[in-house]
């Protein structure tokens, strides 16, 4: 679906939802899944996959040549982290703004890396994807470019790794799946929270049956970004993050909470998300903040009166095997940071937030020394191998570097990725589906099966590093 068509449908659904519900803000609105997209999705599920990308091992790459598109907050950090990994060359850099490319080149120079080819301008990313000196296109751009860049990269023979969310519409999610299957190119969403230390511990414990049969899990992104980031002129280029907060409703950022618990529950690998319902509060803060900022700075006047999304969104998901998941999103009220990360089973429970992390096998949380013993026994091999170095390199405490290192090591050794295109699509689709549910009085919505039935036989991700762990790290 082209951009103009999507905007047209977006405007129609907004008007219809506002009349139907009487709520003077986001109802059926803004890239929420349309009837047309849902019908298309239902038909897609009936067709067999061209090729199952779950468990697929692409041909080995002795040296992974990386092109990075988007050199802002996330992208500049990625340039630094990736420069530590052996068997990798950063061969191309791209940003809309040339000065960001220059700064990234300076980072490479400091790290003793060769200068990369430069791309800039509105469509410089297309030329990078079409170049002959890139194997992997790594994309930390504004959200609306994630799917277009990943698609163009795969169609031009490159693997794609993109920041969250991988797609903003159901049609985009399906196109990512179809293209990855057709080209046999990996499409990984860079969900870094899957590589945090407690998340990996609980994943390995779940695999080893310590929690029994998992029954319920919770995840979230609860982080007050409003003043320091969303309304900060020096944070996101062209205020794109602010615009997302009035162009969508529902859960705008589901994957940080969903990814780790989906892996624990073997979603797309033995179970699948079946259906969901979602509810949002109205906006109590963003509209007021826009007026406050505009009173001090005329720059913000254009953001007054926008239909800002509800502050708190809560989404409930039921899986095919009858398990439940709860997701929350709130980046605009005062609260401590939390991703919740709770997994609950027939024999035990683990919860990361509020910190410190906790585990229980009865009515009381275990003591610290018992938790330390679990870390010693069940920390997976990837953390034991690279965790200490990751903490030194950094990136959200080290999880970003673990993610980057693991991606490159898999590509160099011809191993299946921990996150494939089906994960990218199914985790990302919660954004438009939650918008549809919110706009229809929390109507129950079916969640597409992007694996087209392959979830029944797909194997869980491999935590043993078999055949891998050969990629070194530069100090």
Q: Please give the C-alpha separations between residue 402 and each of 61, 141, 152, 382, in angstroms, as whole numbers.
A: 19, 21, 27, 8
Predicted pLDDT at 24: 36
Residue 294 above 70 pLDDT? yes
144-182 tens-digit pLDDT = 999 999 999 999 999 999 999 999 999 999 999 999 999
Residue 12, pLDDT score: 32
What are the C-alpha distances in Å from 362 to residues 12, 202, 347, 350, 366?
Answer: 52, 17, 8, 11, 9
Q: Given this structure, which CATH class describes domain 64-191? A: alpha beta
Note the pLDDT of residue 46.
Answer: 85
Task: Give the residue among 78, 350, 352, 370 at the shortest CA–CA distance from 196.
Answer: 352
pLDDT of residue 47: 87
Mean pLDDT computed over 84-89: 98
Q: Is the pLDDT of residue 436 over 50?
A: yes
Domains 1-57+192-387+418-475 and 64-191 share a fold: no
| Percentage of the chain lying above the pLDDT 70 cut | 93
Specify the residue for token string 């898999």. Answer: 410
Task: Tell me the domain boundaries of the chain.
Answer: 1-57+192-387+418-475, 64-191
Report the pLDDT value the prediction gives residue 19, as an integer from 0 to 100: 30
- Alpha helices in 316-380, H assignment, sequence order: 368-378
Q: Give yes or no for residue 383 having a pLDDT over 80.
A: yes
Chain segment 404-428, per-residue pLDDT in tens: 999 999 999 999 999 999 999 999 9
Q: Has residue 9 got a pLDDT over 70?
A: no
- Report the C-alpha dihedral over residues 354, 360, 366, 370, rounded to 10 degrees: -110
Q: What is the pLDDT of the chain when averaged over all its residues? A: 93
Percentages (nearest 5) of helix, strand, coil residues in the chain: 45, 15, 40
**Residue 29: is its pLDDT beyond 60?**
no
The mean pLDDT value for 188-208 works out to 98
Mean pLDDT computed over 177-200: 98
Q: Is the pLDDT of residue 7 over 50?
A: no
Does residue 228 register a pLDDT over 50?
yes
Domain covering 1-57+192-387+418-475: architecture: 2-Layer Sandwich (3.30)
- Binning pLDDT at 50, 70 and 90, where does residue 1 land? very low
CA–CA dist 469, 474 (Å, integer)? 15
What is the structure's pLDDT at 162? 98
pLDDT tens-digit series, residues 109-148 = 999 999 999 999 999 999 999 999 999 999 999 999 999 9
Q: If pLDDT is split at 50, 70 and 90, which confidence band does 243 have?
A: very high
> pLDDT at residue 26 above 50?
no
| pLDDT (tens digit per residue) in 338-381 | 999 999 999 999 999 999 999 999 999 999 999 999 999 999 99
Cβ partners under 8 Å of residue 226, min gap 6? 285, 286, 289, 331, 332
Please give the average per-residue pLDDT across 285-309, as a whole number.
98
How far is it, in rounded angstroms, from Cα 92 to Cα 71? 11
What pLDDT is stored for residue 57 in this prediction?
97
């Amino acid at each position: 679906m082209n951009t103009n068509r999507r905007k047209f449908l977006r405007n129609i659904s907004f008007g219809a939802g506002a009349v139907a519900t009487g709520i003077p803000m986001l109802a059926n609105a803004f890239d929420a899944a349309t009837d047309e997209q849902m019908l298309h999705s239902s038909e897609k599920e009936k067709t067999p996959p061209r090729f199952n990308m779950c468990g697929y091992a692409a041909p080995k790459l002795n040296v992974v040549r990386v092109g990075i598109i988007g050199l802002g907050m996330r992208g500049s950090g990625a340039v630094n982290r990736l420069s530590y990994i052996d068997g990798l060359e950063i061969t191309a850099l791209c940003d809309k703004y040339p000065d960001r490319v220059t700064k990234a080149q300076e980072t490479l120079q400091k790290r003793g890396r060769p200068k990369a080819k430069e791309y800039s301008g509105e469509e410089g990313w297309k030329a990078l994807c079409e170049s002959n000196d890139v194997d992997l296109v790594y994309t930390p751009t504004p959200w609306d470019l994630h799917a277009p860049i990943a698609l163009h990269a795969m169609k031009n023979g490159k693997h794609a790794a993109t920041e969250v969310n991988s797609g903003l519409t159901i049609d985009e999610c399906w196109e990512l799946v179809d293209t990855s299957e057709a080209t046999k190119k990996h499409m990984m969403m860079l969900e870094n929270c899957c590589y945090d230390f407690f998340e990996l511990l609980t994943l390995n414990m779940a695999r080893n049956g310590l929690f029994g049969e998992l029954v319920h899990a919770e995840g979230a992104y609860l982080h007050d970004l409003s003043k320091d980031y969303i309304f900060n002129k020096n944070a996101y280029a062209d205020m794109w993050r602010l615009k997302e907060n009035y162009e969508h409703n529902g859960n705008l950022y589901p994957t940080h909470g969903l990814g780790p618990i989906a892996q624990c529950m073997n979603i797309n690998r033995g179970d699948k998300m079946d259906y969901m319902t979602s509810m949002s509060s109205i906006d109590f803060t963003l509209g007021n903040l826009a007026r406050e900022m505009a009173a001090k700075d005329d720059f913000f006047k254009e953001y007054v009166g926008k239909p800002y999304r509800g502050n708190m969104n809560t989404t409930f998901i039921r899986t095919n095997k009858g398990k439940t998941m709860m997701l929350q999103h709130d980046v605009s009220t005062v609260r401590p940071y939390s991703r919740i990360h709770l997994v609950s089973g027939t024999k035990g429970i683990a919860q990361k937030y509020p910190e410190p992390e906790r585990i229980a096998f009865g009515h009381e949380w275990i003591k610290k020394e018992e938790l330390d013993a679990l870390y010693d026994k069940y920390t997976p091999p990837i953390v034991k191998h690279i965790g200490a170095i990751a903490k030194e390199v950094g990136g959200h405490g080290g999880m970003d570097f673990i993610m980057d290192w693991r991606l490159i090591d898999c590509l160099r050794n011809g191993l299946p990725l921990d996150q494939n295109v089906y994960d990218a699509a199914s985790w990302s689709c919660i954004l438009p589906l939650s918008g549809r549910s919110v706009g229809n009085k929390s109507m129950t919505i079916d969640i597409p099966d992007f694996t087209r039935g392959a979830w029944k036989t797909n194997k869980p991700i491999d935590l043993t590093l078999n055949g891998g762990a050969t990629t070194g790290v530069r100090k």
